[in-house]
Amino acid sequence: MNHPLVETAFRMEKLPHIWCPGCGHGIIMASIARAIEKCGLDKDKVCIVSGIGCSSRAPGYMDFNTLHTTHGRALAFATGVKLANPELEVIVIAGDGDLSAIGGNHLIHAARRNIGLTTICFNNNIYGMTGGQYSPTTPNGEKGTTAPYGNIDKPFDIAQLAIGAGATYAAKTTVFHVQQMDKLIENAIRHKGFSLVEAISICPTYYGRKNKKGSVIDMMNWLKDNFVDLKVAEKLPEDKKAGKFLMGEFYNVSAPEYTDEYNKIIESLKK
């Protein structure tokens, strides 16, 4: 028997999904569905927009207004959707390459405008759809098919990048920490303005294999052992924090939202 959420939030006839066994993306997709339900959103008023890549196939499975766009451009399309109809709750799903490489310009400007879009980055540190090339979030020294001798690039921290660009909500979580993920995505959807949740995913097929990360369980355990909530980290002694990655809600402030500001102009011109 299916979980009731599968029947209410998904297009049953489009499942099963195309992702590889062990891929973390399904966990994030389900978390988004739970968060939408928790927020009590009208399905007809939810629009999910994606670009190109493994993660970008998610909207096709989800029973909302769904828009699968061109590589990197999801935020630009979503900006048009949101500005034209601010009543819509617009959620953007993007991979690390999609969002921070080819779509990097759109990311910083959507964040700068503080337009009411919720962006969920499915970050698996690799280009999966094209077969395992290194991405802007592949850690230094790690391998990809286009970094056969190890990656010499420095990786982006996408959540911090969004904050730097002007996002008013930014958080990071992992596919191991599902309860936290549900809460953070819910918060991001409820947030007024540009919000971003960087969800660290796993790609056992390419990233894991190429970098000898072991089994799917090993990769999940690695997330468990290496990510620490920032509130927990505050209380930890320095030696326990060394080498760990922080997750949790990094930034949450309120500031004027773009479509509200535009509507104010429209109202002022009516006088």
Partner 1 sequence: MARKVKFLQGNEALVEGALLAGMTFYSGYPITPSTEIAELSAEKLPKIGGKFIQMEDEIAGIAAAIGASLTGAKAMTATSGPGFSLKQENIGYAALTEVPLVIVNVQRGGPSTGLPTAPGQGDLMQAMWGTHGDHPVICLTPDSVRETFDLTIRAFNLSEKFRTPVILLTDEITGHMREKIEIPDASEIEVLNRLKPQVGEKYIPYKVMEGDLVPKMADFGSGFRYHVTGLMHDETGFPSNSTQNAGILMDRLMAKVEDHKDEIIDFEEIQVEDAEYLILSYGGTARTAKAVVKKLRAEGIKVGLFRPITVWPFPEKRVHELSKQVKEILVAELNYGQMKLEVERVSKGNCPIRFCGKANGEVLTPEELIQKFKEVL
Q: CA angle 268-269-271, nearest 5°? A: 75
Q: CA angle 47-50-51, nearest 5°? A: 150
Of the candidate spans 31-39, 55-63, 93-101, 197-205, the one that interacts with partner 1 by CB under 8 A turns out to be 55-63
- Which residues have CB under 8 Å from 111's CB, separation 6+? 162, 165, 166, 167, 194, 196
- Smallest distance, Å, CB 250 to partner 1? 24
Q: How far is CA 147 from CA 53, 97, 162, in A?
A: 19, 15, 26
271 is a contact residue toward partner 1 (CB under 8 A): no
Site string for partner 1, 84-123 (x = CB under 8 A): xx-xx----------------xx-xx--------------
Nearer to partner 1, 116 or 248 (CB): 116
66 is a contact residue toward partner 1 (CB under 8 A): yes
Which of 9, 23, 30, 49 binds partner 1 (CB under 8 A)? It is: 49
Q: What is the number of residues in the chain?
A: 271
Residue 249 bridge partners (DSSP)? 171
14 is a contact residue toward partner 1 (CB under 8 A): yes
Which of 79, 100, 119, 180 binds partner 1 (CB under 8 A)? It is: 79
- Which residues have CB under 8 Å from 19's CB, separation 6+? 25, 26, 54, 57
Residue 50 bridge partners (DSSP)? 68, 93
Lookup: tokens for 134: 């290194």
Nearer to partner 1, 98 or 249 (CB): 98
Q: What residues line the site for partner 1 (CB under 8 A)? A: 14, 43-45, 47, 49, 59-60, 63-70, 73, 76-85, 87-88, 105-106, 108-109, 262, 265-266, 269
